[in-house]
Amino acid sequence: MNQTPPVARATIIYESMFGSTRAVAEAIADGLRSAATVTVLPVKDAPEAFPDVDLVVVGAPTHAHGLSRPASRTEAGAWADDPDRHLTLEPDAEGIGVREWLDSCGNAPARFAAFDTRADMTELFTGSAAHSIEKRLQKLGSRRFVQKQSFLVDKNSVLEPGQLELARDWGRTLATELQTPALR
């Protein structure tokens, strides 16, 4: 059987401190690939302007109720240096974050989806980086494609059981929405 290759194009841009947000981004891409050609980029490799694609997905870890700042990324580096925490810092985690990248982009994607990783508590207590991403992108004039999604981590920043499957499912939801003619 000859399958038609996906015609939609999506880019996932993520920030990750200890690997959980990267793993979520990759799982979302796995779910999305049935409907789109997907490029996954760490924010340090993100283009200065939004790519010309059908959907931009942006994700980041939640730090102090929102997007990370240089100081919180430096603090994450100190956590990784603490042998009792058993954390490994992602390459370039202390570089540019999603906050700074979004603030430097002059254009806006036509539509976006936002996700975050956050502590396994109610959002009222943890905040949400995805909420901050949504606000910034909507201010630039972009349209939200689907509701934001949070993926939960434990106190050691490790994804809770089932979160990667939830991420793949969310990617499949994005794929389904991309294939809906009214939403193209």
The domain of 38 spans 8-183
**Vertex 135 angle, CA 76 and 165, to 5°:** 60
Q: Is the pLDDT of residue 136 over 90?
A: yes
1: in domain: no
Q: What is the average pLDDT across 38-50?
A: 92
Total count of domains within the chain: 1
CA–CA separation, 60 and 67 (whole Å): 7
Q: What is the pLDDT of residue 79?
A: 85
Tens of pLDDT, residues 84-123: 888 888 987 878 999 999 999 878 889 999 999 999 988 8
17: in domain: yes
3: in domain: no
2: in domain: no
CA–CA separation, 65 and 103 (whole Å): 18
Q: What is the average pLDDT across 48-61?
A: 91
Q: What is the average pLDDT across 137-159?
A: 94
- What kind and span of H or E run contains 151? strand 149-153
Q: Which residues contact 82 (CB under 8 A, 6 or more apart)?
A: none
**Vertex 165 angle, CA 164 and 169, to 5°:** 115
Q: Is the pLDDT of residue 166 over 80?
A: yes
Q: Is the pLDDT of residue 152 over 90?
A: yes
- What kind and span of H or E run contains 36? strand 36-42
Give the domain CATH number at 55.
Answer: 3.40.50.360
- Other Cβ atoms less than 10 A from the Cβ of 64: the count is 13
